[in-house]
Structure 1
Amino acid sequence: LHCCHRNMSLEFGIVEEGGIRCSYHGWKYGLDGTILETPCEPPASQVRTRACLGAYPVIESKGLAFAYMGPPEEQPPFPVMDTFDEAGDEMLPYLIESPCNWLQVMENAWDPFHVVYLHTLAVRSQFIDAFAEMPMIEFHESRTGEFYTNVRRVDDIVWIRCHDHMLPSFTQNGGHFPVPDKPRYFGRCGLSRWITPVDDTHTLVIAWRHFRDGDDPRGLTDKSKVGFGTTDFYGQGPDRTYEQRQRDPGDFDAWVSQGPKNVHERENMGFTDRGVAKARRLLRNAIRSVASGNPAPQPTDGFDGVIPTYGGDTMLRIPKQEGRDDGAVLKEISIDIAEIYKSGDHLQGDARNEFIRSRLKEYEARWQ
């Protein structure tokens, strides 16, 4: 944003009550972009009536700034997810840039199978050993978008991990350092993030990292690492040497090394790419819909208040069932848990959490 006097950048402006002042000649702008003062001009000067700056409404929340940049008459309500204001949840913002197209970062979140190899079997366990188990994946529609359940068995614990996806680029996932050794009912997400394109070949991950009691039994989180250019879980940015990244690659190395813009025609996708294919299809359909004159879908569509989400971890004590294929059992559980989660959408806050947790305990008891 530049001063409309002589184009000095207002990144060097002085923020004042009711606006910002250019430090070059003192022109002051109001919150709506109107020029309020031109102190170096003669008192009779009318220059301030002939120009103004563009302005967009901004909401600040817990260290992140959200701007609406569309037509004023189409401005939707600010979307407040149920994970944005939970008691006992410390939310720390972070931002990391990646020199690649935003779809490469976004598609990583739609690809639960990479966790098995990249994060666990390729070199070492970057998070927890249980991620080495191949998951049972099911995709589910919600009123706000899509989510998937990611189910593993760890002895007699069935671990249901859930990720949220809302078009075009909002995601939430489970915890980063869970220990699936005892029941846990509707544990909530480890991060909420927006995968934001800067241009065709640069992307910002803008996110909140969530910290709650019980999320990290082994004490592996580090709040001091969460901030500008860094976060506390492995492989999200260029904060390692090239040699270190070659020896022990992470997510950043996967999506950046695809190139500035990944060429889809060179890919050979398989069964494990169902999520990526689904994401591309949903995005193309949404683009075509908007291009045809339809409004862009909003998370707030159909909701008057807080928006229900599903990201997080549930762990149920369900032993293997005699005489039944365990894969079929896990698939059944995956579908049932998604329906239990959605059955609480009519409630908000603690009432919703307690409703879902109560239903999960009843469901667990049925398998004993």
Structure 2
Amino acid sequence: MTTLDDLPIRDDLRGRTPYGAPQLDVPVRLNTNENSYPVPEPVVEAIGKALAAELRDLNRYPDRDAVALRADLAGYLGHGLTVDQVWAANGSNEVQQQLLQAFGGPGRSALGFVPAYSMHPLLALGTCTRWVPGRRGADFGLTAEEAVAQVREHRPDVVFLCSPNNPTGTALDPAVVTAVLDVAPGMVVVDEAYAEFARPGTVSALAVLPGHPRLVVTRTMSKAFGFAGGRLGYLAADPAVVQAVQLVRLPYHLSALTQAAARAALAHRDALLGTVAAIKEQRDRIVAELRARGLRAADSDANFVLFEVGGDQSAAWRTLLDAGVLVRDVGLPGWLRVTAGTPAETDAFLTAMDKLTGTQAPRSRGEQ
């Protein structure tokens, strides 16, 4: 039987495994930061009608540049953005891949501050961009001084900043973004996949865009919008950046069906984003109750919580899985990550944690 080793695959890909979190059939799935709430029926109907309207013309290619969708996304983001400043693709992963195709590549480097989103180094690998793993503080924080020092040391062509950061959950101080912009020789990409879940007063990097043509802010509809299966990510940047990624994007990369479904979802944003407050409540509840049990839990501006289990986190992950609760082992020794879901899912997670630790704290009530 032929194996990868028998094929003339690139040397830097040998021995590697594909990215992916376990997709297991368990009662409570809290490992991939999906929105646990199903799409509301009125939105299902609206998306269905939008898709039906496209079916007769599937013999034709879609709008190559998705202009109408980009205009809708610009309207959603606000900040005075126009269609020329927005680009969309199949998830923010593809957006970031296109950015590395345009601004990274052979002979160039990308810097990210780990632990952070694990796809960034894989996207760098796929585009033959040298990956530089930057450092965070012992508390997983990142100060402007620490970031600037590392950017000056490595002189990367692309800097990735995550706000809120995945897997730690905390948003960046805007001063970090502006400080990095002041010294970075290349592009600065702020990954805001979880921006809609940020705590009050959190400032988006979108506010920093004016006057910074090398800044890119990436977003997704997978999380807050509950549109993970729709695969729609996007960026906001200077129009010249959009022109740059258009040089490397595949032709007709966004299908007519994807564009129609995403536009229908955006038109019903209030209904889809109506679950955000409930998810944030469960996130804060998880933090409070884990701490009440004497466990460390990171402050979170996202729809997940990073928490310490001590010892072998893989064994703790298996214990929780045996209890019917799937969380994420992000490879951080002694820590796991759990998605904030419904009240019932939080109950199940906390019950499983009680079995894991042998401790229990009084539950906050009010769950339905």
TM-score normalised according to structure 1 size: 0.26
| Bigger strand share | 1
| Bigger helix share | 2
